[in-house]
Structure 1
Amino acid sequence: MLPILGRSPASRVAHAGTALDPQELLARATRAAQLLPPGSRVAFDGGNALTRLIHFLGADLAGCATLFLEPAWTDGDRAAVLADARPDLVLSLDESPGHAADGGERTVRATYRHQQAVHPTTEPSERTVRATCPMPAGSELTHFYLPTTSGSSGSPKVLIRSRRSWLRSFAALGLPLAARDRVLVPGPLSSSLFLFGVLHALHSGAEVELLDKWSAADAADASRRATTVHLVPAMLSALVSTLEHDPVLRAECSLRTVVCGGAKVDEALEERLAKVLPGCALVEYYGSAEHSLIAVRRGGPLRPVVDVEVRDPVDGVGELWVRSELVFDGYLRGGEIVPAATEDGWSTVGDRAALHSDGSLDVLGRAGSAINTGARIVGAEEVESVLRGAEGVLDVLVCATPHPRFGELVTAVVEIDPVAPPSLRELRARVRRALDPAKRPRRWLAVRDLPRTASGKPARAVIAERLRAGTLRTEAL
């Protein structure tokens, strides 16, 4: 049995034209587990999507907690993450001659980080790791995963997760899958959003297809075989655009369900999806790295799946607090677990929200992304959701730029579709119809590609810094 699945594998995993049956997946995960000291913290670097999944399952089998290093991190972010996580072992999963990346018994060159309190400044030493170890399944309380926050608004933080928090999140999503389903996961497993999609599918007994990196064309091709796909809104917009422009791919698409997280799906994008794939259901969820799932939407409004409160509301909008058994166990700082700050089990990550009398929830984003313009506070995510579904807009990030009179200007940085770019006149008309005057962007910038986090979300802090430094490459809109 694989502990984080709560079962033995029962379905295939496909990647790059090959597929592993359940028995081979379990065998490779078992061999990967034999490389690891039981109960340790391990960090995996490099490797393709299948290699990462095998070693993640192997680490869980060995009772280890896994950290995936993200290739897109800066040297500073990488160093900060390693300093906080203090893994016992850092393994490179990149293939080298004679080393099959299948989790087999092999010699691995690894960086071993001593955690002895008496030598806190000891330099990491190189050693050869060849471990054949018992593989304790542990319990649901075992720490199995060290996710990192996305870094969209600053340097990533390292969290620590129990198996229970994810096993119960699978049920909270409420997405029924069967053996006949094939789930496409087209993003990196260093993002907890995509890792969750893979593990949920395997837990449900559905087949999985992995892509090493996001490509709308590759995802559209894989959607000929897949019945379900996990995406963020920017990916959904690009996939819909690809299908809109290719009637053959559209006719052959087998998708019946789109699962979307990371940001709100605009109504116009949802309508485009319904038009290009009639009958395809959209399941949208809201959560955070700290809280896992908080609310899910299927056809109607967003509804909480855990206890929520909106505190100190002004005009109906306040700070969202959550009480749940799906939450994380704390942050890692200098290798030590710092428990999450709670009030009688309630905690917050600073999201602003409105809770309505019918029990539905509107999430308006973090207070840190708010823009103070002309003595009005504007939520960046609200403006982004209006623009994200527009024709020709692949994604958008709204941020502040300084202004001597208004304090800050609402600035829209739009990632445009190079085939059919949007009209600035149409975008302005769109925000006039949907937003109060204070919330409408006053500055418009176009880019070919927005800098992104591992989960595919726009890297808010990176874009803001490039705007301040004048290094963001823009073009006329």
Structure 2
Amino acid sequence: MPPPGTGPTAIVPPDLLPPGLAVATAVAAEHLRAHGIGPGDRVVIDAPARVRWSVLPHLLAVDRAGAAALVADPGWSDRERAAVLTDTAPSRVLDVSTAGTGSGTSTSTGTSTGTETSTGTSTETSTPARPEPGQPRPTGPRDQLDGTDPFLLPTTSGSTGPPTVLARTRDSWLIGFDVLGPLPGPVLVPGPPSSTLYLFGALHALHHGLRLVTTDRFDPADLPAGGSVHLVPALLSTLLDDRDRHPERPAPAVIVCGGAHVAPALRERCARLLPGTVLIEYYGSAEHSLIALRRDAGPLRAVPGVRLAVHDGVLWVDSPQTVLGRLRDGVLQPIGPGPSTVGDRADLGTDGALTVHGRAATTITSGGTLVAVEEVEQVLRGVPGVADVVVSGTPHPSLGTLVTAVVEATDGVAPSRRALRAAVRTALSPAKRPRRWLLVPALPRLGSGKPARSVIDDALRDGTRGTRPFPEPSGGRP
């Protein structure tokens, strides 16, 4: 019988790891064994923000041990971190230092690409927090790994509330790796491993034996010629703005875009500026992983094995990629089997084409009309000069809530308000169009890179601190 984690259920087969990363993972695995970490345990991995990807060999070692890993977000507040640790009830917390073992994987800390960096060793800096005696655990020790054991404890982004700790199986991501399939290498993953979007991209690349390049932030100069890159729509917009200025730079063969919806105007701009690049857009969630894919201009359709249904305007997903459940005070609260929902509003055509309008929690009411803010944001992200945007509501005496757009401009230069209004006039009914326009130097963000909606909502309620109105166009109101 093979040792735990070396069989086909390992998230990355050991023989596919680059030599340096394989050595670092083996060292980390020995460290875990020395501390008694095995199947059924939960391990929280901490790393400083400046070397976030140093968690990688430790995560792979936790997987090899048959345990489940949670990658902590260094951007969490003390309250958020305490809540996550309470729900996780970890067997051990690993503090990854910068004195490394040399992974050999192509990583960097956000300043360059392809740099060989250390991956870090680990120490225990807190007392292991175990459940009380007799408290149930989601799994128990086993002699052989099972693909249905949890290997990862992802947290929701917390964009509309505190993070939730989930329990994900190896099989669920192995299915997703096959659905997405191999990509041209090398693969650039320009974001933190605490975000499942970027962690999925990194493990997917390693699983397929591709050279991996990780950075903590996106710089278009890091793009691998002929390779692939994982982005969110705001970073895709950044890439295209850079392409306008530097058309001579290398172009990726494939862009994988998730985390939010790609506006039609943004897809069209991508096709125009990068005609030889394939754009793969996916819709998913922390709870369901990959739900639907769109390649270039085709429709968004459910991936194989996923069944979709819309009831009362809300999307329900029945998928083998669904998480096992949520952790509350150390106890797993199962989700499945069967359909479940995260509350996204959607339409499903008779031909299977899916249109997602956004989370019900991000719907506002203005003048009696329900406005899905993500629908409005999709339109505005396609306007040149918009780095990103969040649509929210501000109080209004007659409408109740005024649709308000908070815009982050590209390179600090405000886009034309005339262009913004023209875009929403073309794509949206009058009740959905923003009536108030505000500029910010930079939107507050979560560790995943997504805008922190709750922070923005609080700022608007407190008097729009940190924002300023758009300058009035010359010649009066357009």
TM-score by length of 2: 0.86
Aligned pairs for 1:28-427 (under 5 A) are 28-36=24-32, 37-39=37-39, 40-47=41-48, 48-95=51-98, 100=101, 108-118=123-133, 138-173=145-180, 175-177=181-183, 181-211=185-215, 213-215=216-218, 218=219, 220-225=220-225, 227-246=227-246, 250-299=247-296, 300-305=298-303, 306-312=306-312, 318-340=313-335, 342=336, 345-418=338-411, 420-427=413-420
How far the C-alpha of 1:452 sits from its partner, in A, is 1.3
Unaligned 5+ residue runs, structure 2? Answer: 1-5, 104-117, 136-140, 471-478
1:325-382 deviation digits (Å, cap 9, x = unpaired): 1100000010110111x5x611111110000111100011111111111111010010
* Alignment RMSD: 2.3
How far the C-alpha of 1:419 sits from its partner, in A, is 5.5
How far the C-alpha of 1:277 sits from its partner, in A, is 1.7
Percent identity over paired residues: 47
**Among candidates 451, 455, 473, match of residue 458 of structure 1:** 451
Counterpart of 2:290 in structure 1: which amino acid? L
- Checking the alignment, whether the CA contact within 8 Å between 2:44 and 2:69 is kept in structure 1 is yes
**Among candidates 9, 13, 16, match of residue 10 of structure 1:** 16
2:437 paired residue number: 444
SS of 1:377's partner is: strand
Rounded to whole Å, the distance in 2 between the matches of 1:50 and 1:226 is: 24
Rounded to whole Å, the distance in 2 between the matches of 1:105 and 1:394 is: 34
Counterpart of 1:326 in structure 2: which amino acid? Q
Counterpart of 1:307 in structure 2: which amino acid? R
Rounded to whole Å, the distance in 2 between the matches of 1:101 and 1:89 is: 23
**Among candidates 425, 432, 448, match of residue 432 of structure 1:** 425
2:109 paired residue number: none
2:138 paired residue number: none
Rounded to whole Å, the distance in 2 between the matches of 1:105 and 1:345 is: 41
Rounded to whole Å, the distance in 1 between the matches of 2:10 and 2:233 is: 27
- Checking the alignment, whether the CA contact within 8 Å between 1:187 and 1:194 is kept in structure 2 is yes
- Checking the alignment, whether the CA contact within 8 Å between 1:374 and 1:406 is kept in structure 2 is yes
Change (3 A) 1:390 1:117: same
- Checking the alignment, whether the CA contact within 8 Å between 1:32 and 1:105 is kept in structure 2 is no
Rounded to whole Å, the distance in 2 between the matches of 1:100 and 1:145 is: 23
- Checking the alignment, whether the CA contact within 8 Å between 1:49 and 1:210 is kept in structure 2 is no
- Checking the alignment, whether the CA contact within 8 Å between 1:62 and 1:136 is kept in structure 2 is no
Rounded to whole Å, the distance in 2 between the matches of 1:116 and 1:159 is: 17
How far the C-alpha of 1:135 sits from its partner, in A, is 11
- Checking the alignment, whether the CA contact within 8 Å between 2:102 and 2:120 is kept in structure 1 is no
SS of 2:411's partner is: coil
Rounded to whole Å, the distance in 2 between the matches of 1:104 and 1:266 is: 37
How far the C-alpha of 1:435 sits from its partner, in A, is 0.5
Change (3 A) 1:301 1:293: same
Rounded to whole Å, the distance in 1 between the matches of 2:224 and 2:45 is: 32
Rounded to whole Å, the distance in 2 between the matches of 1:384 and 1:419 is: 19
How far the C-alpha of 1:430 sits from its partner, in A, is 1.2
- Checking the alignment, whether the CA contact within 8 Å between 2:95 and 2:122 is kept in structure 1 is no
How far the C-alpha of 1:460 sits from its partner, in A, is 1.1
How far the C-alpha of 1:104 sits from its partner, in A, is 9.4
SS of 2:393's partner is: strand
Unaligned 5+ residue runs, structure 1? Answer: 12-21, 121-133, 313-317
SS of 2:326's partner is: strand
Change (3 A) 1:149 1:476: same
SS of 1:258's partner is: strand
Rounded to whole Å, the distance in 2 between the matches of 1:105 and 1:415 is: 35
Change (3 A) 1:168 1:114: same
SS of 1:144's partner is: strand
SS of 1:354's partner is: strand
Rounded to whole Å, the distance in 2 between the matches of 1:292 and 1:44 is: 22
How far the C-alpha of 1:76 sits from its partner, in A, is 1.2
Runs (4+) of structure 1 moved beyond 3 Å?
A: 1-6, 99-107, 134-137
SS of 2:271's partner is: helix
